[in-house]
Structure 1
Amino acid sequence: MPCPFKYLFGVDCPGCGFQRSVLALLRGDFQLSFKLYPPTVPLLICFLAAAYTWLFKLNQNAMALKVIYFVTGFFIFFNYLYKMLFQHIH
């Protein structure tokens, strides 16, 4: 599925590569998955933690959940920053 952000602004969005990375991960190609979008595994862990918390009606303000969200956001931010600063220089 094409990225509407990239279509509108001409640059990758912070999530560009996630779909291809998940597909590579499902095929068992961990190296390609990481190359396509390094935050895939932390993001999937974040989704699973959120779903588990919601499904079992656990404390949604738990410190562990906040840490998972923060670390994932941090990883996404720095991956995007790296991509914008170093991989688009030609």
Structure 2
Amino acid sequence: MLDSSDRIVTKPNAESTELPISPASPSKPTVARKKTKRRVTTESEREIILCMALGGKSHKEVAAALDLKPNTVYKFIRSRSKCWHNAESDAPRN
């Protein structure tokens, strides 16, 4: 016959005082991960991008010339073109 000490318990006791572990949520801090350093375009690169874009170059050509990602150049040109359109619509007409 088995003693009470020889029994194998597969389910936790209801009387257990341990709290259940909850999964991580967005509001709780998590373990920090090593972030890659983001490259920021310089002021001179921005000026060159604008000059080349106004000169009729595509974002892929500009990116290849400056060794940048085409998506970076595309987003920058797009953000600046929105400003140009807003400035043109706000300018007084003669």
TM-score by length of 2: 0.31
Which of these two proteins has the greater Rg computed from alpha carbons?
2
Q: What is the TM-score normalised by the length of structure 1? A: 0.32
* Greater helix proportion: 1
